[in-house]
C-alpha cells in the first residue's frame, strides 16, 4: 500500500487487511510493553494544516508504538502562514528524511495533489482533507462496529447486513463520506439523516438511503447510530435556523435514546457538542462507543502505518508465502 | 512590409477549391487557376481558408499581470491559433475603465503588430459593480470601445445592469455579462452535481448562471437593448437563450471551446488545470451547448483565454486560480467537437469564429467576405493531421492548458493580419511580415 | 529440478513422539511448560506435541502461538507481510519454561525475533527451541534443544513441510536446483 488517501478507492480486501492487522495491533496494546520495534528507523511527519489535537496525538501514538520517529509540523505560526506553498513545505520535510507524511489539510484533494505531484517520494496518509475524506476515521469506526458485534472473533469478518445510520451535516462531513464508501464495501446498509440543506444536491449515485426524519430512521432499527458534530457556523449560512431547532429535530435526546434497539450502539467521531447533536445521557451510556473509538483509532493507525512503511517500496503489495526463515 | 502571395488550391470555407492572391493588404483576386508575376507561390492544397478568426473574449493581462501574459505574447498566441483580432477583457491592473487605459492597450496592440487588439471596457468603476464607468469616454476614445464587460465578476445589481443596458444604446454598445449569481456561488470550486458531492468541493450550481441570464434577457427586452452573454455553459442557459430569441430579444451568446469538450469528471484527480469559471459541467451540458452552437442559439465561440503562472495551478485545488489558455487550441478543439462530429461545416466555423464575433463587437475590417477587395485577414488551416497537444504548441507566456497530452486534430499553417503574414508554413514569425 | 521426500508421514510421527519425550525428560515432567508455536506450521506442530506431552506426561500443557512478523529484522527488504495471530495461553509466560516450536530452523532470524517478542510479553524462567527440521546455515548463534531431523542442505535448495491440518498430508521434501 503506497498511500492511504480515501476509502472510495480502497478495495474490500485491502480494507479487511487493515482491520485484521489492527486486531493484532490492538492485542499488543493490551500487553504491559505496548511498543513494537517494527518501524524503528522510520520517520513519520504529521503535517497538520488544520488544528486537530486529537487526530494528531492518535497518529503520534501509533507511530511511536511502532518505534518510528515522529516530527510534528503544525501550520500555525509556521512558514505556511507566511505564504509558503504546499509544495515547498512538503519538500522541506522530505529533505529532513520523512518516510511517511500524515497530512490534514483544509482543501479537499490536497493529499491526492501531494501524493501524485512528484514533489515527494514519501507515502501519504490522509488525516482529513477539507470536506472530502477521513479514511482512518472510517476504518476505526468499522473496526469498532465489528468488534462490538463479533468480539474476539472479528478477524476476517465484514459487516454484511449491518445497518448503520449516520446523522448530521453530511454535506460538509468527510467522516460521512469515508464511512459511506467503506461501509458499503464491507456489505453494510447505510442510511443518512440530515436536514435537507445539509445533504449534497445530488447523492443519487451513492449507495445510501436518505431520510430527513430521525425518528423514522430510529424506528427502522439500525444496529449502529453515528452522530456527527454540527458546526454552529452553519447556522449563520442559513443551513438551519437555530441550535434549538436542530437539536429538537436531529439531536439524539434521551427520548430517542430509549427508542433504540437493545443492541444498538451509539457512535460519535468527536469532539461532541453535548446537548446539541448528542445528549449527555447518550454520550455516557453503555451503548456509547466514543472512548473505544479513540482507542481503536490508535490500533487502526498503527495498522495503516505498518502497511504503508514496513515492507519494501513495492507498489504491488503481495502477501508472500513464508519464504525466509 | 507585405509581399504579394499566391495561395494555390485552398478550400474556400472548406468547399470550393480556388487560388487566392494577396497584395497590398487586400485580397486582390480569388478564383480558379490564377497567376501573378512576382508573387510568392504557396501550395495550399487541402488547406481550409477561413476569414481571420476573431476572439470576442481574451485575457491579455497587460497592464498589471505581465508575469502571466503581455499584449505582445498574447497577440502571438492568437496569431498562432489563426486569429487576426482579439477583444481584450478589462480585468487588468489598473482596470480598463477609463479612456486612458483602453488607449494604452490599443497602442500596445498596434506596436506588437500580430493581431488587432480591440479593448473591452469595464461596465463599472474597478469592476466593483457600484457605479457605471465612463462608458461614453471609452466609446469616443481612439480605442472606439463598443463591448463592455465586468468579466470575472457578474453585474449583479439589477438596477446597475438595467442602466448599463440602456446607456450603451447611445453608441451602439453592448454589455457582455458574466452570468454568475455571487450569493449562490460563494466559495464555489466546481460544478455542483454528483461529482462535487463525492469530491467534497463546494458547488457552483447551474441555476446561478441561468437565473442571471433569465433576468438579463428580460431587462434587455424591456429597455430595447442588445445583450451578450459570455461563456455560456449549461443546458438550461441554452434553453433560456432559445426562448429569448424566439421572443425577439436582441441577445447573443458565446461558448468556449473547453465547454464544448470537457466535463466535470476531469476534476476527480483534483488537477487544477481543469479549474475554470464557469466550471466544467456535465456530459448533458456539453451535448446541449454543442447542439445550441449548431442550431445558432449560441452565436459564437470565444476562447476566454486566461493565462496563469505555474504556481497558481501546481497546488491544491482550493488554492488554484480559475482559467485555461485557449487561443492556440481553439480551432483544433472546435474541429474535434463540432466539425468532425458532423454538427457544423467549415462555413459555419467561419461564421461562429470570425463573422459573428466581428459583427457583435462592431469591429470593422475583420470577419469580412472572402472576395476580392476585402482586407486580407485570413487563416489557412490543415484539418488532416492528428497530433498530441504539448507545450510546444503554446506560444503565449503561460502553459495552463487542459489539452496537454491530448490528441487534437488540425494545424494552423498560415495566418495573415491585413495582408501581413504572422504565421508562415506552420511557424509563428518573430516579427510580423518578416520571413527568413 | 528434483524433489525428494526426506520424511514420510510415519517419520514425522516418530520424530514428534521422540521430541515430546525429550521435552518431558529435560523438564523433569510437565510442570511449568508452555508451548508456543511460530505460525503457521509451527502452531500445528505445537498442538500435536502438546497432545503427545499430555498423553505421556499425564497433565495438559498450555499451547499457544507467537507471531514474530513485527519483530523481524528483514521487514524492509520484503513486501509487506500480514501478521498472524499471537495467542498467549491464560497463565502467561512469567516464570514458565517456554518451548518455541517451529517447522524449519534455517538462519535463526525467526527465533531471534521470537526471543524479542517474548521479552515484550513477559519473563520466562527459560526458553527452549523445538524444531522438526534443522537444515543448517545459521546466521546467528542460535541452537535448537529438540530436533526432529538434521537435514544438511544447500542454500539454494527449498525445504517444504506439509502437514495434514494445513496441507492435507504429512511430508517433508527438499527441492534441488
C88 closest CA partner among C111, C107, C65, C108? C65
Tens-digit pLDDT profile for residues B283-340 = 999 999 999 999 999 999 999 999 999 999 999 999 999 999 999 999 999 999 999 9
Query: For chain B, what is the domain count?
Result: 1
Specify if B3 maps to a domain.
no
Confidence of residue A318 (pLDDT cuts 50, 70, 90): very low
Query: Residue A210: phi, psi to the nearest 5?
Result: -115, 130
Check CB contact under 8 Å for C86 and A314. Answer: no
The beta-carbon neighbor of A31 closest among C85, C102, C121 is C121
Whole-angstrom distance, CA of residue B329 vs CA of residue B381 = 12
Check CB contact under 8 Å for A320 and C109. Answer: no
Of the candidates B23, B304, B348, B393, the residue annotated as catalytic is B304
CA distances to B25, B58, B61, B195, B232 from B256, rounded to whole Å, are 30, 11, 19, 21, 8
Residue A322 scores a pLDDT above 60: no
**Spans of chain B, pLDDT less than 70:** 1-2
A contacts of B194 (beta carbons < 8 Å): 202-205
**Through-space distance between the first and last CA atoms of chain A, rounded to whole angstroms:** 24
The beta-carbon neighbor of C78 closest among A31, A316, A320 is A320
Residue A194 scores a pLDDT above 90: yes
Residue A32's Cβ-count burial label (10 Å; 0-12, 13-18, 19+) is exposed
Residue A76 scores a pLDDT above 90: no
Of all residues in chain A, the one with the smallest CA distance to C159 is: A323
Specify if B422 maps to a domain.
no
Tens-digit pLDDT profile for residues A87-112 = 988 898 888 889 999 999 999 999 99
Confidence of residue C177 (pLDDT cuts 50, 70, 90): low
The parent domain of residue B67 ranges over 53-360
CATH number for C8-69+87-156 (one of 3.40.1160.10, 3.30.1330.40, 3.40.50.2020, 1.10.1500.10): it is 3.40.50.2020
Domains and CATH numbers, chain A: 12-134+294-309 (3.40.50.1370), 135-290 (3.40.50.1370)
Residue A285's Cβ-count burial label (10 Å; 0-12, 13-18, 19+) is middle
Confidence of residue A233 (pLDDT cuts 50, 70, 90): confident
Tens-digit pLDDT profile for residues A213-228 = 999 999 999 999 999 9
**Host H or E run for residue B5:** strand B5-12
The average confidence (pLDDT) of chain C is: 94
Of all residues in chain A, the one with the smallest CA distance to C133 is: A325
B contacts of A129 (beta carbons < 8 Å): 200
pLDDT attached to residue A77: 56
Confidence of residue A317 (pLDDT cuts 50, 70, 90): very low
The whole model's pTM is what? Answer: 0.89
Q: Looking at the complex, does the CB of residue C8 fall below 8 Å from at least one CB of chain A?
A: no
Q: Looking at the complex, does the CB of residue C82 fall below 8 Å from at least one CB of chain A?
A: yes
- Report yes or no on chains C and A touching (3+ CB pairs under 8 A): yes
Which of A91, A109, A116, A207 is the best residue to mutate to test the B interface, defined by the most B CB atoms within 10 Å of its own CB? A109
pLDDT attached to residue A80: 62
> Does residue A156 contact residue A20 with C-beta atoms inside 8 Å?
yes
Whole-angstrom distance, CA of residue B227 vs CA of residue A302 = 62
Check CB contact under 8 Å for B193 and A105. Answer: no
CA distances to A32, C65, C113, C125 from C118, rounded to whole Å, are 12, 11, 9, 11
Query: Residue B182: phi, psi to the nearest 5?
Result: -65, -30
> Does residue A71 contact residue A44 with C-beta atoms inside 8 Å?
yes
Whole-angstrom distance, CA of residue A289 vs CA of residue A271 = 13
Residues C64-81, mean pLDDT to the nearest whole number: 88
Residues in chain B: 436
Of all residues in chain A, the one with the smallest CA distance to B190 is: A108
Whole-angstrom distance, CA of residue B321 vs CA of residue B307 = 10
Residues A27-32, mean pLDDT to the nearest whole number: 88
Residues A266-280, mean pLDDT to the nearest whole number: 95
B380 closest CA partner among B6, B3, B4? B6
CB < 8 Å from B in window 297-316 of A: none
Check CB contact under 8 Å for B317 and A108. Answer: yes
pLDDT attached to residue A325: 44
Check CB contact under 8 Å for A130 and B196. Answer: no
Q: Which residues contact B60 (CB under 8 A, 6 or more apart)?
A: B69, B70, B71, B74, B75, B86, B88, B89, B92, B105, B117
B contacts of A202 (beta carbons < 8 Å): 192-194, 197
> Does residue A241 contact residue A234 with C-beta atoms inside 8 Å?
no
Check CB contact under 8 Å for A317 and C80. Answer: yes
A contacts of B314 (beta carbons < 8 Å): 87, 117
- Report yes or no on chains A and B touching (3+ CB pairs under 8 A): yes
Check CB contact under 8 Å for B318 and A108. Answer: yes
Which of C37, C83, C108 is the best residue to mutate to test the A interface, defined by the most A CB atoms within 10 Å of its own CB? C83
pLDDT attached to residue A114: 94
Of all residues in chain B, the one with the smallest CA distance to A128 is: B200
Check CB contact under 8 Å for A36 and C77. Answer: no
Supply the DSSP symbol for B403. T
pLDDT attached to residue B2: 55
C contacts of A311 (beta carbons < 8 Å): 75-76, 78-81
The average confidence (pLDDT) of chain A is: 92
Check CB contact under 8 Å for C107 and A325. Answer: yes
Specify if B15 maps to a domain.
no
Whole-angstrom distance, CA of residue C66 vs CA of residue C80 = 19
Describe chain B by its helix, strand, coil percentages, rounded to 5.
35, 25, 45
Q: Looking at the complex, does the CB of residue A112 fall below 8 Å from at least one CB of chain B?
A: yes
Q: Phi/psi class of residue C152: alpha, beta or left (left: φ > 0; alpha: ψ in -120 to 50)?
A: beta
Domain ranges of chain C: 8-69+87-156
Q: Is residue B304 annotated as part of the catalytic site, yes or no?
A: yes
Q: Looking at the complex, does the CB of residue B199 fall below 8 Å from at least one CB of chain A?
A: yes
Check CB contact under 8 Å for C86 and A27. Answer: yes
C contacts of A319 (beta carbons < 8 Å): 79-82
What CATH number does the domain containing B205 carry?
3.20.20.140
CA triple A315-C110-C11, angle to 5 deg: 115
pLDDT attached to residue B1: 45
Which of A89, A106, A108 is the best residue to mutate to test the B interface, defined by the most B CB atoms within 10 Å of its own CB? A108
Amino acid at each position: 500500500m503506497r498511500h492511504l488517501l480515501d476509502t472510495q478507492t480502497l478495495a474490500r480486501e485491502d480494507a479487511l487487511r487493515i482491520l485484521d492487522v489492527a486486531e493484532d495491533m490492538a492485542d499488543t496494546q493490551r500487553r504491559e510493553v505496548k511498543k513494537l520495534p517494527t518501524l524503528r528507523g522510520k520517520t513519520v511527519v504529521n503535517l497538520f494544516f488544520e488544528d486537530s489535537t486529537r487526530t494528531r496525538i492518535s497518529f503520534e501514538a501509533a507511530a511511536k508504538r511502532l518505534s518510528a520517529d515522529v516530527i510534528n509540523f503544525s501550520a500555525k505560526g509556521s512558514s505556511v502562514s507566511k505564504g509558503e506553498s504546499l509544495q515547498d513545505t512538503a519538500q522541506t520535510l522530505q529533505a529532513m528524511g520523512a518516510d511517511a507524511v500524515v497530512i490534514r489539510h483544509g482543501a479537499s484533494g490536497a493529499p491526492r495533489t501531494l501524493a501524485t505531484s512528484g514533489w515527494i517520494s514519501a507515502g501519504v496518509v490522509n488525516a482529513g482533507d477539507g470536506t472530502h475524506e477521513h479514511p482512518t476515521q472510517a476504518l476505526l469506526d468499522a473496526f469498532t462496529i465489528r468488534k462490538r458485534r463479533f468480539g474476539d472473533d472479528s478477524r476476517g469478518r465484514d459487516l454484511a447486513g449491518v445497518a448503520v445510520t449516520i446523522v448530521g451535516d453530511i454535506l460538509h462531513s468527510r467522516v460521512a463520506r469515508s464511512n459511506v464508501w467503506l461501509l458499503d464495501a464491507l456489505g453494510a446498509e447505510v442510511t443518512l439523516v440530515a436536514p435537507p440543506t445539509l445533504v449534497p444536491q445530488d447523492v443519487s449515485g451513492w449507495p445510501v438511503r436518505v431520510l430527513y426524519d430521525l425518528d423514522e430512521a430510529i424506528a427502522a432499527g439500525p444496529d449502529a447510530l453515528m452522530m456527527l458534530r454540527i458546526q454552529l457556523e452553519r447556522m449563520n449560512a442559513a443551513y438551519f435556523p437555530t441550535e434549538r431547532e436542530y437539536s429538537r429535530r436531529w439531536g439524539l435526546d434521551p427520548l430517542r435514546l430509549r427508542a433504540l434497539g437493545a443492541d444498538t450502539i451509539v457512535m460519535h467521531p468527536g469532539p461532541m457538542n453535548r446537548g446539541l447533536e448528542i445528549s449527555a445521557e447518550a454520550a455516557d451510556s453503555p451503548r456509547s462507543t466514543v472512548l473505544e473509538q479513540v482507542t481503536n483509532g490508535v490500533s487502526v493507525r498503527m495498522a495503516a502505518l505498518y502497511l504503508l512503511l514496513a515492507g519494501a517500496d513495492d507498489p504491488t503489495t503481495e502477501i508472500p508465502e513464508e519464504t525466509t526463515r | 512590409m507585405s509581399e504579394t502571395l499566391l495561395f494555390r488550391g485552398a478550400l474556400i470555407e472548406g468547399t470550393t477549391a480556388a487560388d487566392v492572391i494577396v497584395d497590398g493588404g487586400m485580397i486582390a483576386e480569388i478564383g480558379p487557376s490564377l497567376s501573378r508575376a512576382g508573387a510568392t507561390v504557396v501550395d495550399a492544397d487541402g488547406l481550409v481558408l477561413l476569414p481571420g478568426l476573431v476572439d470576442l473574449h481574451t485575457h491579455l493581462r497587460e497592464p498589471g499581470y505581465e508575469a502571466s501574459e503581455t499584449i505582445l505574447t498574447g497577440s502571438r498566441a492568437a496569431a498562432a491559433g489563426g486569429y487576426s483580432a482579439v477583444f481584450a477583457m478589462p480585468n487588468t491592473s489598473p482596470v480598463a475603465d477609463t479612456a486612458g487605459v483602453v488607449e494604452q492597450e490599443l497602442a500596445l496592440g498596434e506596436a506588437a503588430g500580430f493581431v488587432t487588439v480591440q479593448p473591452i471596457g469595464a461596465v463599472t468603476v474597478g469592476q466593483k459593480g457600484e457605479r457605471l464607468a465612463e462608458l461614453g469616454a471609452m466609446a469616443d476614445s481612439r480605442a472606439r470601445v463598443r463591448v463592455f464587460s465586468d468579466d470575472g465578476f457578474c453585474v449583479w445589481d439589477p438596477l446597475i445592469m438595467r442602466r448599463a443596458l440602456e446607456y450603451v444604446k447611445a453608441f451602439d454598445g453592448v454589455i457582455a455579462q458574466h452570468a454568475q449569481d455571487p450569493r449562490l456561488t460563494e466559495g464555489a470550486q466546481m460544478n455542483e452535481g454528483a461529482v462535487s458531492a463525492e469530491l467534497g468541493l463546494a458547488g457552483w450550481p447551474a441555476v446561478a448562471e441561468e437565473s442571471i441570464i433569465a433576468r438579463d434577457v428580460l431587462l434587455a427586452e424591456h429597455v430595447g437593448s442588445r445583450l451578450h452573454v459570455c461563456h455560456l455553459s449549461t443546458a438550461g442557459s441554452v434553453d433560456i437563450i432559445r426562448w429569448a430569441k424566439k421572443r425577439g430579444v436582441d441577445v447573443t451568446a458565446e461558448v468556449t471551446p473547453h465547454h464544448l469538450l470537457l466535463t466535470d469528471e476531469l476534476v476527480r484527480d483534483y488537477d487544477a488545470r481543469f479549474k475554470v469559471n464557469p466550471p466544467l459541467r456535465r456530459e448533458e451540458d456539453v451535448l446541449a451547448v454543442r447542439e445550441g452552437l449548431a442550431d445558432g442559439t449560441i452565436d459564437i465561440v470565444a476562447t476566454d483565454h486566461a493565462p496563469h503562472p505555474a504556481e497558481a495551478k501546481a497546488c491544491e485545488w482550493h488554492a488554484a486560480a480559475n482559467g485555461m489558455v485557449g487561443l492556440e487550441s481553439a480551432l483544433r478543439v472546435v474541429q474535434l467537437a463540432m466539425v468532425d462530429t458532423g454538427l457544423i461545416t467549415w462555413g459555419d466555423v467561419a461564421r461562429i469564429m470570425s463573422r459573428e464575433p466581428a459583427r457583435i463587437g462592431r469591429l470593422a475590417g475583420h470577419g469580412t467576405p472572402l472576395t476580392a477587395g476585402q482586407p486580407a485577414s485570413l487563416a489557412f488551416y490543415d484539418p488532416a493531421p492528428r497530433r498530441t497537444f504539448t507545450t510546444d504548441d503554446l506560444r503565449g507566456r503561460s502553459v495552463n492548458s487542459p489539452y496537454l497530452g491530448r490528441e487534437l486534430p488540425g494545424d494552423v499553417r498560415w495566418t495573415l493580419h491585413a495582408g501581413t503574414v504572422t504565421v508562415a508554413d506552420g511557424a509563428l514569425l518573430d516579427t510580423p511580415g518578416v520571413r527568413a | 529440478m528434483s524433489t525428494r521426500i526426506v520424511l514420510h508421514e510415519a517419520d514425522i510421527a516418530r520424530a514428534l513422539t521422540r521430541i515430546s519425550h525429550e521435552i518431558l525428560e529435560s523438564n523433569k515432567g510437565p510442570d511449568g511448560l508452555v508451548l508456543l508455536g511460530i505460525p503457521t506450521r509451527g502452531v500445528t506442530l505445537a498442538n500435536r506435541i502438546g497432545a503427545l506431552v499430555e498423553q505421556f506426561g499425564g497433565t495438559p500443557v498450555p499451547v499457544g502461538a507467537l507471531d514474530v512478523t513485527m519483530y523481524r529484522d528483514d521487514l524492509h527488504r520484503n513486501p509487506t507481510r500480514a501478521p498472524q495471530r499471537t495467542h498467549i495461553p491464560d497463565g502467561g509466560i512469567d516464570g514458565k519454561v517456554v518451548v518455541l516450536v517451529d517447522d524449519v530452523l534455517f538462519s535463526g532470524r525467526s527465533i531471534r525475533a521470537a526471543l524479542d517478542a517474548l521479552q515484550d510479553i513477559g519473563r520466562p524462567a527459560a526458553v527452549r527451541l523445538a524444531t522438526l527440521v534443522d537444515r543448517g546455515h545459521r546466521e546467528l548463534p542460535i541452537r535448537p534443544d529438540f530436533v526432529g531431523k538434521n537435514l544438511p542442505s544447500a542454500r539454494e535448495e527449498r525445504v517444504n513441510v506439509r502437514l495434514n491440518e494445513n496441507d492435507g498430508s504429512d511430508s517433508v521434501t527438499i527441492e534441488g536446483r
